[in-house]
Amino acid sequence: MTASPMPMPMPMPTPTLTVHTERGPLALPAGSTLADAVEALLTGTPTDATQVATAVNGNFVARHARSAHPLHDGDTVLCFSPITGG
């Protein structure tokens, strides 16, 4: 009698989070930071991450703090041109 092969376990889906952007919902891997979201939003555009200001849920996040700013499911992420003047 031949043993039947064990069924292969189904791969576990990678946990994700969804943030809201001016371009619509953006799905990212769980544990993503604001820097990850900015990179995803600017991919395929001529804009560099150093050329935009950012906010999460209406609160400004400085460029140097993006990689340390974790995102949570449902956050609102905005990238915008910084206001300059004199």
Ordered by start, the domain boundaries in the chain are 16-80
Half-sphere exposure of 27 (CA within 13 A, CB side): 3
Q: What is the pLDDT of residue 3?
A: 66
Q: What is the pLDDT of residue 83?
A: 74
Average confidence score pLDDT of the chain = 91
Percentage of residues of the chain with pLDDT beyond 90: 77
19 or 84, higher pLDDT: 19
Half-sphere exposure of 37 (CA within 13 A, CB side): 38
pTM of the predicted model, to two decimals? 0.81
User: In whole angstroms, how far apart are CA 30 and each of 7, 19, 41, 46?
Assistant: 28, 11, 17, 27
Q: What is the pLDDT of residue 29?
A: 97
User: Position 1: which residue type?
Assistant: M
Give which of 74, 57, 75, 55 is closest to 65, Cα–Cα.
55
CATH superfamily of 16-80: Beta-grasp domain (3.10.20.30)
